[in-house]
């Protein structure tokens, strides 16, 4: 029986507890959700200024002493003296040609170009919520390409944790064993449609590192199913898309749980086009049609789930709507799409007119690799 002290509550006498929270023992914190024991923090990560467009950036990341939630990636283009500058179709996000984030053992976690990372922010469910914080162009820090100088400013979030509990955040407490990031930037000729009359801007790139702190009361506590990984990859369907033809296109990247599937249709010049099937759009798993709808139905559903206008050429299928109609970082993962390496994942329909053919489908796939079984066990523990 616990001894009564001035620090202990005694409801019969009308007193309340005065025991400091930091005196809790690990036994008293066992079974308590990690996010309740921990606190959120952020450190200033690597930064570089005066960087020329078209170069390769390989910054050295810093240990956070906890669990890395993601990366705030700021890119500022300043110092431009052009008199005329126009933006290309995917600008300014296409300043990033390729981004690779690997764990300390070299395993890819995020593989993406800049425009795909923009779509991951919009539709991945790991950044913001419905019509609030998930659109990079709506952030106060965003500055579109200036029509004269070519200067711009943007922030792209590189997500790691799958939800606000810390699930899939990356252990990052060893200074000798750090995640590795590599960013290949595009040249000004790719980012700008035209640029003349002066000098192009240079880049300042900053990576800030938000994280979960190791709990003071129980330093051994970790996010649920620690070691699980939420990964993103960008790949291209092998089969081309013909103009005004019915096709069933096999999509790449299967073999684990898929939580989000973002598809981008591009013509042979690389331009995004809306030549998706208008009346018979279908999604298939292993030869079984699981969804038939019109293009307009799909477009309405995307807006209902995410609250942002759909960019030209983009379709989204999310499986993160187990408990609510809109998508956010709160979900139980009951409806994630389980796939194996042998799963046949296809999209079908009669595609529209493609002036510059054949077109290709780019698949941006959000994948969950759970460490210990089915992905929603961490919410049921």
The rounded average pLDDT for each run of 10 residues, N- to C-terminus, in the chain (381 residues) is: 56 58 56 89 96 97 94 98 96 98 91 98 87 88 96 97 92 90 97 95 98 89 91 97 97 95 98 98 97 97 93 96 78 90 97 97 96 62 41
CATH class of 237-372: mainly beta
Helical segments of 62-153, H only? 114-123
Length of the chain: 381
Q: CATH classification of 34-213 is 2.70.9.30, yes or no?
A: yes
By the 8 A CB rule, do 334 and 376 touch?
A: yes
Predicted pLDDT of residue 48: 97
Of 47, 41, 160, the closest CA to residue 103 belongs to 160
pLDDT of residue 31: 74
Q: Report DSSP letters for 74-111, one per residue.
A: EEEEE----SEEEE-TTTTGGGEEEEEEE-TTS-EEEE
Q: Which residues, at least 6 apart from 139, have a Cβ–Cβ distance to it below 8 Å? A: 133, 155
Extract the tokens encoding 176.
């000798």
CATH 2.60.120.20 boundaries in the chain: 237-372
DSSP state at residue 34: H
pLDDT in the model for residue 106:
87
Predicted confidence at residue 380, as pLDDT, reads 42
pLDDT digits (tens, 9 = 90+) for 22-80: 555 555 566 788 989 999 999 999 999 999 999 999 999 999 999 999 999 999 999 99
Q: Where in the chain is the domain with CATH 2.70.9.30?
A: 34-213
Q: What is the model's pLDDT at position 20?
A: 55
DSSP string, 159-202: E--SSTT-TTPEEE--TTS--EEEEEEPPHHHHEEEEESS---E
């Amino acid at each position: 029986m616990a001894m009564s002290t001035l620090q202990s509550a005694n409801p019969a006498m009308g007193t309340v507890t005065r025991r400091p929270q930091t005196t809790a023992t690990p036994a008293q914190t066992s079974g308590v959700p990690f996010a309740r024991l921990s606190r959120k923090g952020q450190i200033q990560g690597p930064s570089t200024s005066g960087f020329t467009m078209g170069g390769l950036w390989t910054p050295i990341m810093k240990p956070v002493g906890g669990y890395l939630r993601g990366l705030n990636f700021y890119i500022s283009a300043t110092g431009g003296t052009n008199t005329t500058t126009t933006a290309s179709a995917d600008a300014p996000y296409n300043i990033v040609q390729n981004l690779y984030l690997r764990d300390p053992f070299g395993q890819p976690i995020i593989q993406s170009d800049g425009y795909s990372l923009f779509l991951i922010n919009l539709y991945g469910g790991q950044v913001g919520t419905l019509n609030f914080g998930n659109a990079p162009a709506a952030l106060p820090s965003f500055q579109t390409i200036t029509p004269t100088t070519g200067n711009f400013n943007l922030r792209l979030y590189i997500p790691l944790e799958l939800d606000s509990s810390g699930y899939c955040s990356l252990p990052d407490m060893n200074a000798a064993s750090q995640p590795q990031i590599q960013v290949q930037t595009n040249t000004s000729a790719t980012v700008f449609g035209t640029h003349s009359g002066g000098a192009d801007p240079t880049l300042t790139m900053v990576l800030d590192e938000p994280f979960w702190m190791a709990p003071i009361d129980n330093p051994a506590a970790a996010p649920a199913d620690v070691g699980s990984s939420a990964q993103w990859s960008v790949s291209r369907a092998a089969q081309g898309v013909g103009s005004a033809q019915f096709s069933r296109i096999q999509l790449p990247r299967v073999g684990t749980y898929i939580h989000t599937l973002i598809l981008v249709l591009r013509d042979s010049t690389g331009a995004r086009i809306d030549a998706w099937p208008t009346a018979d759009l279908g999604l298939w798993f292993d030869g079984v049609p699981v969804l038939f709808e019109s293009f307009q139905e799909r477009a309405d559903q995307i807006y209902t789930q995410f609250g942002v206008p759909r960019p030209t050429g983009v379709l989204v299928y999310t499986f993160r709507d187990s408990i609510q109609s809109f998508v956010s970082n709160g979900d139980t993962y009951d409806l994630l799409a389980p796939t194996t390496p042998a799963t046949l994942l296809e999209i079908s329909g009669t595609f529209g007119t493609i002036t510059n053919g054949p077109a290709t489908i780019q698949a941006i796939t959000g994948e969950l690799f759970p460490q210990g079984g089915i992905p929603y066990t961490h919410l049921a523990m």
